[in-house]
Chains A and B, each alone.
Chain A
Amino acid sequence: MASGVMGFLRRAVREPLVHFLAIGGALFVINSLIHGPDQGPESTAIVISEGRVNQIAESFVLLSGRVPTKEELQVLVDDFVSEEVGYREAVAQGLDADDTIVRRRMRQKLEFLIEDSAANEEPMQAEMLAWLDGHSADYRLPERRALRQVLLSTDKRGASAANDALAALASLRAGADPAKQGDASMLPPALPLTTQEGVAGEFGVDFATAAFAHAGDDWFGPVASPFGQHLVSVVSVEPGRAVTLSEVVDRVRTDIIEERRNDARDAFHARMRKRYTIHIQWPDPWKGLPDTPDPNPKTKPIPEVGE
């Protein structure tokens, strides 16, 4: 093992030669990696610090639940040396330059740096209040209504359900007991506070629309549904309302940080783009698209596939 490491080390210090060979041709590079000379300048040292060794030992503990043996630790450290050497060599050869994964990872690291600096500070109360003010529609609670309904079943009454409903409506308005009107069914005679979507799920869309359009607490109808004709009264209305910060503080906090991250990232990219002149050569089906991109990009972090 030790001689292998030494071999790697010796090869690692031949950067200029490798560089040259890389330009000369990939085949040559590979050949030289395998058969190349072992001597070179001694200036490039690799020091595996105490901290690094400790870290390696700790990750072993995390994975296996125990402390590594001496032998195990030696193998692990040795492997780390290979990683370091291999990494330096690969970079020296420019293998990172055209590797999509590496490029993506580098960009991601850079963006993490930028974003994290923006996300570091906890949003202040005042900022959260202002945010809520500016985005109240996103947090608004929908209107909910509590209803009572009497069904005149089309199954039981056919076409006369509508007329029967009118008669029942008159009785209800005169104070009759709704439990004694209409036809019993699996539909609930009373609904607790429910959103329009919830009412539509049980009674259909038309019924829900009518129940949420009506003003007043009187009995009204008939309102048609797939079940028949209904008489409806609105027992209580909980208006849709804006929320207070205390109800949604966690969401607001997360949303602010999210936006800060996005803004910081976009600003960074916009700033960096100024350093470059960019020209895009669109191939055929896309010819005619603008040949310079937006100077103020809305960048999205690229999702890592398989994450």
Chain B
Amino acid sequence: MKRLAIAVCAAALLAGCGPQTPTASTQTEQTPATPERPAANPLKNAYFGDLHLHTRNSFDAYIFNVRASPEEAYAYAKGGTIKHAAGFDMKLNSGPLDFLAVTDHSEYLGVLPAINTPGDPYASVPYAKDLFSTDPKQVNAAFRKFGDALRTGARMPEFADLRTVKSAWHDTIDAAKRNYEPGKFTTLVGYEFTSAPDGRNLHRNVIFSGDTAPELPFTALESQNPEDLWKWMDQQRANGFEALSISHNGNGSDGTMYERTMWNGKPVDRQWAELRARNEPLTEITQVKGTSETHPLLSPNDEFAGFEIMEWYIGSTTPITKFDGGYVRKAMKDGLEIEAKVGVNPYKYGLIGSSDTHNAAGSYEEDNYHSKVGISDATPERRGSAPPEGKTWANYKPADNTARFATWGASGLTGVWAPENTREEIYAALKRKETYATTGPRMKVRFFAGYGIGPQQLTSDEGVKNAYAKGVSMGGDLIGKADGKPDFLVVAMRDARSAPLQRVQIIKGWLDKNGKAQEKIFDVACSDGGKVNTKTNRCPDNGATVDVKTCAYSQDKGDAEISASWSDPEFDPKLNAFYYARVLENPTCRWSTWDAIRLGIEPNPDLQKTIQERAYTSPIWLIPTKG
């Protein structure tokens, strides 16, 4: 009898030890049983999502004590509550996102969880114990070990066996498959290519069009040279795996992200420009680690350029010394110059925003901010919005990392215009660059250019239909005509949960008669009935204020919706040019001010107390007709 019982138990044991089916977090918001898929809208809807997010499968996130899985990242994006590495709950105040890509670092993907799994062969690396600490100092030391290894691009020999990476990659793909709800929530398969030669950031996110992907990602351990990544993407495309790459944090590249030379140091040639443009249609202009639009030194006439500027190498306190080559607006100008020389523009970028959170949960809201590197910046003290316990701001001298974290921002999101929320349509919108970036709020922005499409408004279906029929939307090419000027139509609507809008600007870049790229900013619509000064091209101040004691802002200033029909007063049909729209909110409290208010202390005097949230559309390029 006893023998029988043992046999039964053994049989059951085998079943119990089989592969465990992953179960969704119990805190996941439940999917309605009968989701009714809304009809596609040919005039397109705005969808908001994040294309840059890390989970415990990223080596650094795991070191930061993050244990949330891709499954939990999706749960959070769908409006659920998940735990921060420091133990508190995280939930989006503004409701679920429409799409998400989990983009863990492909280098050492899933390796850290393996090191921390008893019995796993990786658990025996000699420094295993040092890696998993709750002391931020030790965490930083451990992080440096991997960070330094990535700077060299050589694979750490103890992790040469790629079985772990393969299995974590399959988990990433499976999580995307499981969480896709066509019509309601789109998941995208992706990863981050983490190349940083000598610490200069050349990171890219690679996003696949489908729910299948190559057996292994192409990582910076195969090659730090992004040209090799794009060649691999070409090959994969031939094998049926369509993907695009998105460069990010040019601001941390020390001038190397958007260079005028190739990897071998020679000037960009046509083949290189085509390779890059074919594979990298998008660039990330805003995220937690600052803005990559432009730097005040590159755009001295842009009084809104000093927004969430980050001047450090990524993951280090080495200061950036070269801004040229690290910012998107300058790259788009350089792209025009390169095109004039080699015939192809390598920097014809659509714009997106994302978080780059390493908490598996984006922190897009200033008043709901948990930054992005797990326990390292989990408290106001560690991210520089509160002085150390028992101290005041007098003689405040932040630890190195805290000084870095203090300059980060609660950003960003990608807006796409697509007929419906499916993987096919979201991916297609990314590919055709019908995208815009926001620094967190979910403003809706439409932007069109075309001959004879104005002054119709974009607030009616007929207006939008007309604009699509006769013009091009953000991300498109407008073929110039010898006579006449194109109209630019733009409309922006505030996020109901954020502040009213202050102004809409159109930023123009063009190649002047001497072949030199120039830029100019035109305010095209002002709030509160203001009129643009035709000499300065600026709106009058609308007088909106913020009470930094409470973060209350003017309720009677700014507009809920703002629109313009504009034509370029300096238009020259013979010159190559690009135009993109920038929408500015009224000022609101920065996250660091919210932190201080919650603690009942003065905000850090070295930090800006308020910011102006914004949206950036992909440009429209004017292609002059020859002759």
Chain A positions near chain B (C-beta within 8 angstroms): 63, 101, 105, 109, 112-113, 115-117, 120, 138-139, 141-142, 153-155, 184-187, 192-193, 197-198, 200-204, 207, 225-228, 243, 247-248, 251, 254, 258, 304-307
Contact B560 A247 (CB under 8 A): no
| Pick from B17, B117, B460: contact of A306, CB under 8 Å | B117
Contact A116 B561 (CB under 8 A): no
Return chain A residues, CB-CB under 8 Å to B491. Answer: 186
Q: How far is the CB of A240 from chain B (nearest CB, A)?
A: 11
Query: 0/1 per residue, B491-511, Cβ < 8 Å to A?
Result: 101101100100000000000
With A113-B12, A184-B459, A186-B459 in contact, do A204 and B496 touch (Cβ < 8 Å)?
yes
A101 to B123, CA, bound (A): 13
A142 to B12, CA, bound (A): 40
A155 to B561, CA, bound (A): 7
List 10 additional contacts besides A112-B12, A112-B13, A198-B95; criterion CB under 8 Å: A63-B163, A112-B17, A155-B527, A184-B460, A203-B496, A226-B496, A227-B493, A251-B30, A304-B117, A305-B117
Contact A155 B559 (CB under 8 A): yes
Return chain B residues, CB-CB under 8 Å to A247. Answer: 33-34
Tell yes or no: B32 within 8 A of A by CB.
Answer: yes
**Considering only CB atoms and an 8 Å cut-off, how many residues of chain B contact the other chain?**
46
Contact B560 A227 (CB under 8 A): yes
Tell yes or no: B42 within 8 A of A by CB.
Answer: no
> 21 A-B Cβ contacts within 8 A?
A101-B118, A105-B118, A109-B13, A109-B16, A109-B17, A112-B12, A112-B16, A113-B9, A141-B32, A142-B32, A153-B561, A186-B446, A186-B561, A197-B95, A200-B95, A204-B496, A227-B496, A243-B33, A251-B30, A251-B33, A306-B113
A295 to B444, CA, bound (A): 58
A210 to B38, CA, bound (A): 24
Q: How far is the CB of B43 from chain A (nearest CB, A)?
A: 11
Tell yes or no: B303 within 8 A of A by CB.
Answer: no
A112 to B10, CA, bound (A): 11
Q: Which residue of A lies closest to B10 (CB)?
A: A113
A155 to B491, CA, bound (A): 14
Q: How far is the CB of B41 from chain A (nearest CB, A)?
A: 9
Q: How far is the CB of A66 from chain B (nearest CB, A)?
A: 15
Contact B560 A228 (CB under 8 A): yes
Q: How far is the CB of B154 from chain A (nearest CB, A)?
A: 25
Q: How far is the CB of A41 from chain B (nearest CB, A)?
A: 26
Q: How far is the CB of B84 from chain A (nearest CB, A)?
A: 16
Contact B94 A201 (CB under 8 A): yes
Return chain A residues, CB-CB under 8 Å to B79. Answer: 197
Return chain A residues, CB-CB under 8 Å to B33. Answer: 139, 141, 243, 247-248, 251
A169 to B13, CA, bound (A): 70
A243 to B34, CA, bound (A): 9
Tell yes or no: B545 within 8 A of A by CB.
Answer: no
Tell yes or no: B400 within 8 A of A by CB.
Answer: no
A204 to B38, CA, bound (A): 21
Contact A186 B444 (CB under 8 A): yes
Interface of A is mostly: helix
Contact A116 B16 (CB under 8 A): yes
Return chain A residues, CB-CB under 8 Å to B117. Answer: 304-307
With A112-B13, A141-B33, A227-B496 in contact, do A305 and B95 touch (Cβ < 8 Å)?
no
Query: 0/1 per residue, B14-39, Cβ < 8 Å to A?
Result: 01110000010000001011101011
Return chain A residues, CB-CB under 8 Å to B212. Answer: none
Tell yes or no: B276 within 8 A of A by CB.
Answer: no
Contact B494 A226 (CB under 8 A): yes
Q: Which residue of A lies closest to B529 (CB)?
A: A155
Q: How far is the CB of A26 from chain B (nearest CB, A)?
A: 20
With A153-B560, A155-B559, A304-B117 in contact, do A202 and B496 touch (Cβ < 8 Å)?
yes
Q: How far is the CB of A164 from chain B (nearest CB, A)?
A: 15
Contact B458 A305 (CB under 8 A): no
Contact B12 A116 (CB under 8 A): yes
Give the 6 A-B CB pairs with smallest separation, nearest first: A112-B16, A306-B116, A204-B496, A247-B33, A184-B459, A306-B113
A254 to B24, CA, bound (A): 11
Return chain B residues, CB-CB under 8 Å to A155. Answer: 527, 559-562
A122 to B38, CA, bound (A): 35
Q: Which residue of A lies closest to B497 (CB)?
A: A204
Return chain B residues, CB-CB under 8 Å to A101. Answer: 118-119
Return chain B residues, CB-CB under 8 Å to A204. Answer: 496-497
Q: How far is the CB of A43 from chain B (nearest CB, A)?
A: 21
Return chain A residues, CB-CB under 8 Å to B94. Answer: 201
Return chain A residues, CB-CB under 8 Å to B115. Answer: 306
A7 to B112, CA, bound (A): 36
A211 to B559, CA, bound (A): 23
Return chain B residues, CB-CB under 8 Å to A113. Answer: 9, 12-13, 16
Contact B560 A141 (CB under 8 A): no
Q: How far is the CB of B113 from chain A (nearest CB, A)?
A: 4
Contact B15 A116 (CB under 8 A): yes
Return chain A residues, CB-CB under 8 Å to B9. Answer: 113
Within 8 A of A (CB), among B478-497: 491, 493-494, 496-497
Q: How far is the CB of A168 from chain B (nearest CB, A)?
A: 17
Contact A226 B16 (CB under 8 A): no
Query: 0/1 per residue, B525-541, Cβ < 8 Å to A?
Result: 00100000000000000
Return chain B residues, CB-CB under 8 Å to A254. Answer: 23
Return chain A residues, CB-CB under 8 Å to B248. Answer: none
A306 to B59, CA, bound (A): 12
Tell yes or no: B358 within 8 A of A by CB.
Answer: no
Return chain A residues, CB-CB under 8 Å to B460. Answer: 184
Return chain B residues, CB-CB under 8 Å to A305. Answer: 67, 116-117
Contact B560 A154 (CB under 8 A): yes
Query: 0/1 per residue, B213-229, Cβ < 8 Å to A?
Result: 00000000000000000
Interface centre among B113, B114, B119, B561 (most CB of A within 10 A): B561
Return chain A residues, CB-CB under 8 Å to B608. Answer: none
Contact A193 B560 (CB under 8 A): no
Return chain B residues, CB-CB under 8 Å to A153. Answer: 560-561
Within 8 A of A (CB), among B52-103: 67, 79, 94-95
Contact A226 B12 (CB under 8 A): no
Q: Which residue of B lies closest to A250 (CB)?
A: B33
Q: How far is the CB of A116 from chain B (nearest CB, A)?
A: 5
Interface centre among A116, A155, A193, A225 (most CB of B within 10 A): A155
A306 to B446, CA, bound (A): 44
Q: How far is the CB of A202 from chain B (nearest CB, A)?
A: 7
Interface centre among A116, A187, A306 (most CB of B within 10 A): A306
A194 to B23, CA, bound (A): 28
Tell yes or no: B457 within 8 A of A by CB.
Answer: yes
Contact A192 B38 (CB under 8 A): yes
Interface centre among B9, B67, B560, B562 (most CB of A within 10 A): B560
A201 to B46, CA, bound (A): 13
| Pick from B13, B457, B496, B559: contact of A225, CB under 8 Å | B496
A201 to B97, CA, bound (A): 10
Contact B113 A307 (CB under 8 A): yes
Q: How far is the CB of A243 from chain B (nearest CB, A)?
A: 5
Contact A185 B16 (CB under 8 A): no
Within 8 A of A (CB), among B412-470: 442, 444, 446, 457-460
